[in-house]
Structure 1
Amino acid sequence: MASIIYLAKLGELTLKGSNKADFERRLVANIRRALVGAGASVRLQAGRLYVEADECASTAVEGALAHLVGITGWAKARACDKSLGAIREAVYGEALDAKESGARTFKIEARRADKGFPLDSYGIQREAPLLVCERNLLAVDVHRPDAVITVEVRDRAFVYRNAHKGCRGLPAGTGGKGLLLLSGGIDSPVAGYRMIRRGMRLDAAYFHAFPYTPDEAQRKVEDIAAVLARFGMSLRLHAVGFTAVQVRIKERAPEAYRTLLLRYCMIQAANLLAERTGAQCLVSGESLGQVASQTLENMTVTESAARFPLLRPLVGLDKEEIIETAKGIGTYGISILPYEDCCTLFSPKHPVLRARAGETRSLYEALDADALIAEACESCEAKRFPAQESRVALSGNVRVS
């Protein structure tokens, strides 16, 4: 069976100081975890992550690298001896593949990590394309080439093209643990993804109102959780039945406050789940001014219910920016499926826009819902989604922003 090798460039963790080795160990552990059963060999050396595997494992390796937080880019490479002849042959092979894909022009980019190699980067760029030019395979165009072929001289020489962008950020698991308030909408999965890119491990809480919300709504959220798990190495989803709480809100609360009080109750439940799971913060998909419950005044009210830091990574983004990221990570197509979640249940026609914390607290106390919330958290169902599995079809070509 033919062997393949992939090179990945490390991201901002290279800027770390005395704890850099801890971040590197976590990155290697994460890619190994994502490739369990694939028979891949992983090593990290001098700013590059190397993954070697049999050709039959290419789909698994490419999918894992596309979802690996902590690298800026990756590519499938040809490995050869550090001789000019071997490098020229490898470059010719890449140029031949490029021509078969429709390329007519190319250029060489070179990096010489091994300073003992007799040619510097410019010399490699000058000498490596000799066979391609002699055989008139492709024309050189250094300004607007159809194909860019990269040569890196390290412990061996590596030649590649079609480099893919990585997720960047810090390796998942290096930035503490949070509890994501996950709905079936567009925003909260993006919020979770952005915190994963800062190294955070996530659990998630999903609130449903069966039988008012369909089973398909929960399955949609589970599919979203499976996508996020590939970036975060795993994710445990807590499905909280909130029907009794919502009915109590409908019965006792002024109509204009229903949505805000639902958010308030969700934060109270999230406090309990965070304590139980060891989360150090709550994560929400709120964006300032996007909907009525997300005015500055209303966000201040909901935050007053939190006993943990409440992080809002989307607070300054507009909807187009959020949608672009959702499409890139693969959650958008799931989020727009037409299954409503509990946030739309009993929603008021004219919601309060500028609530006050004291007044909302009084309305919450009038609900007498603490026992209902505690019971909902005690009886919630938890499901873990591991990194190397997915309920949905995911492409290796993740687009990140």
Structure 2
Amino acid sequence: MYQAFLLKYAEIGIKGKNRYKFENALCSQVRRRLDKLEGEFTVTREQGRIFVEAEGDFDFEDAIEAMSRVFGVSSISPVQMIEDKSWENLTKEVGDFIERQYGEEKFTFKVKSRRSDKHYPYTSPEICMEMGAYLLERFPHLSVDVHHPEVYIWVEVREKAYVYAKVYPAACGMPLGTNGKAMLLLSGGIDSPVAGYMIAKRGVFIDAVYFHAPPYTSDRAKQKVIDLAKLISRYTGPIRLHIINFTDIQMYIYEQCPHEELTIIMRRYMMRIAEKIAKETDCLGLITGESIGQVASQTMHSLAATNDVCTLPVYRPLIGFDKQDIVGIAEKIGTYETSILPFEDCCTIFVA
């Protein structure tokens, strides 16, 4: 049973003197996710890595899933910690690890190493070569392939030594809270939840606003949006959802304005209201799920018309995406099946 995990960074590794701020934010987010699980977890950072040590009973799959949704983490590896990192013990422990993991399975491998303890008597290349030779001698049914191995065996020598062979992909991006907060215009469709996810992935906290038009839009439509907010909050952290009763405004527009312009006029009012809430809640911009040309209200002229009523920046992360690209992300983050439930929102009511 694994009792420790090694988390690798995404873009944080290329930061300069302020890198520690991003590392601290990432550690904080990892702790917050793990605090919700059974077991005790200690999160520490050390020279380009985050280490998570677990104590007591915990669910391995739940821990992997929770950490894989933390923006800023590129991969997660369950590791075996080796207290005695003398060469004789290290080779034996790595060999025992391979035996437990793979038994008599036949495969090609390559050893990769990282030696942060510069007092260790072997360099990183020497660890790779000598460890590979030891494993070939101990397991004659294995073979080395340095170009396209079936298994990478990673050995890291720090204050302790660590060995691992499995790498789980994670969310990548930047840690939440390192790039401010923005307001998402959240509908019940496929696009806006994906847009919120993508901006949050850049380290932005998000709030959301939903325009409800009872009795013309149902409580089931509202619940659908609440459910979507909960689904994306698995990645973005807590979302404050502002539900706006839009019925009176929508009826006035329908009665007083040319029907061929209803959608644009309604969207301009939505942007005004969303911006007002955004400014009151310290958001630095608005987020929409618009994509050029996807529907008639998302032409360049239409987008310019809705932009004109805003003073805050409007972020459209899906602007150049094909619909299938957006659907693929929605399926990956688990919002697609909820988004396609057949409950209309106020943008599809009263439109001539």
- TM-score normalised to structure 2 length: 0.90
Residue number among 55, 58, 66 corresponding to 1:56 in the alignment? 58
Choose between structure 1 and 2 for higher RCO, CA contacts under 8 A separated by at least 6 residues. Answer: 1
SS in structure 2 of the partner of residue 30 of structure 1: helix
* Cα distance, 1:103–1:275 mapped onto 2, change above 3 Å: farther
Please, what is the CA RMSD of the aligned residues? 2.2
What is residue 82 of structure 1 aligned with on the other side?
85
Deviations 1:41-99 (A, max 9, x none): 11111111111113514334212211111122221111113233333344334433553
Q: Separation in 2 of the partners of 1:231 and 1:103? A: 38
After TM superposition, the structure 1 = structure 2 runs for residues 43-122 of structure 1, keeping only pairs within 5 Å, are: 43-54=44-55, 55-80=57-82, 81-96=84-99, 98-99=101-102, 104-122=107-125
SS in 1 for 2:279: helix
Which letter does structure 1 place at the counterpart of 2:259? E
Q: Which residue of 1 aligns with 2:227?
A: 223
Distance 2:337 2:3 in 1: 32
* Aligned equivalent of 1:136, options 119, 135, 140: 140
Deviates most, 7-16 or 258-267: 7-16
Q: Does 2:320 align with 1:321?
A: no
Q: 1:183 to 1:37 in 2, by over 3 A?
A: closer
Q: Give the match for residue 191 of structure 1.
A: 195
For the residues of structure 2 that align with 1:182 and 1:319, how far apart are their CA atoms?
17
The corresponding residue for 2:166 is: 162
Give the Cα separation in 1 of the matches to 2:176 and 2:303.
28
Distance 1:291 1:100, change over 3 A: farther
Q: Verify: 1:202 aligned to 2:203, yes or no.
A: no
What amino acid sits opposite 2:122 in the alignment? Answer: L
1:6 aligns with 2:5: yes
Residue 374 of structure 1 corresponds to none
Counterpart Cα distance in 1 of 2:36 and 2:290: 38
Matches within 5 A, 1:359-398: none
Q: Is the 8 A contact 1:9 1:73 kept in 2?
A: yes
Residue identity matched to 1:70: G
Q: Which moved more, 1:294-303 or 1:207-216?
A: 207-216
Cα distance in 2, alignment partners of residues 192 and 133 from structure 1: 53
- Asked whether the equivalents of residues 183 and 206 of structure 1 are also in contact (C-alpha less than 8 Å), the reply is yes
Whole-Å Cα distance in 2 between the matches of residues 89 and 333 of structure 1? 49
- Say whether the 8 Å CA contact 1:33–1:233 is kept in structure 2: no
Aligned to 1:363: none
1:205 CA displacement: 0.6
In 1, distance between residues paired with 2:341 and 2:94? 46
State the partner residue of 2:268.
Answer: 264
Tell me if the contact between 1:72 and 1:168 (Cα under 8 Å) persists in the aligned partners.
Answer: yes
Q: Distance in 2 between matches of 1:313 and 1:90?
A: 47
- Counterpart of 2:314 in structure 1 is 310
Counterpart of 1:389 in structure 2 is: none
- Pair 162,3 (structure 1): closer, same or farther in 2 beyond 3 Å: closer
Where structure 1 has 5 or more consecutive residues not aligned to the other structure, the ranges are 349-401
1:101 Cα offset (Å): 11
Residues 332-343 of structure 1 correspond to what in structure 2 (within 5 A)?
A: 332-343=336-347
Q: Which of 291, 296, 300 matches 1:296?
A: 300
Distance 1:57 1:32 in 2: 16
Kindly provide the amino acid, as one letter, of the partner of residue 62 in structure 1.
I
Aligned length: 347
Contact 2:34 2:67 (C-alpha < 8 Å) held by counterparts: no
Shift of the 37–282 alpha-carbon distance from structure 1 to 2, 3 Å rule, reads closer
CA-to-aligned-CA distance 1:1-28 (integer Å, 9 cap, x gap): x661111112222333332222222111
Q: Distance in 2 between matches of 1:169 and 1:101?
A: 39
Q: Which moved more, 1:286-295 or 1:124-133?
A: 124-133
Deviation at 1:182, TM superposition (A): 1.0
Structure 1: distance between partners of 2:136 and 2:73? 31
1:325, distance to aligned residue in structure 2 (A): 2.1
The alignment status of 1:127 with 2:126, answered yes or no, reads no
Moved more, 29-38 or 279-288: 29-38
Matched-pair contact (CA < 8 Å) for 1:87–1:128: no
Closer, same or farther: CA 103–322 of 1 in aligned 2, 3 Å: farther
**Inter-CA distance 104–18: structure 2 relative to 1 (3 Å threshold):** closer
Supply the distance in 2 between the matched residues of 1:181 and 1:308 (Cα, whole angstroms).
14
Contact 2:2 2:79 in 1 (8 A): no
Q: What amino acid maps onto 2:340 in structure 1?
A: I
The alignment partner of 1:40 has SS state of: strand
CA distance in 2, matches of 1:100, 1:227: 39
Q: Given the two structures, how large is their TM-score scaled by the length of structure 1?
A: 0.80
Which consecutive unaligned segments of at least 5 residues does structure 2 have? none
Name the CA shift for 1:250/1:8 in 2 (closer, same or farther; >3 Å).
Answer: same
TM superposition shift of 1:319: 1.9
Post-superposition Cα deviations, 1:214-241, rounded to whole Å, max 9, x if no partner, equal: 3332222222212322322321111222
What is the aligned-residue identity percentage? 40
Q: How far off its partner does 1:307 sit?
A: 2.9
* 2:326 partner amino acid: I
User: Residues 145 and 235 of structure 1: is their aligned pair in 2 closer, same or farther, counting only changes over 3 Å?
Assistant: same
| Map 1:231-270 → 2, pairs under 5 A | 231-270=235-274
Contact 1:82 1:156 in 2 (8 A): yes
| Aligned partner letter, 1:123 | E
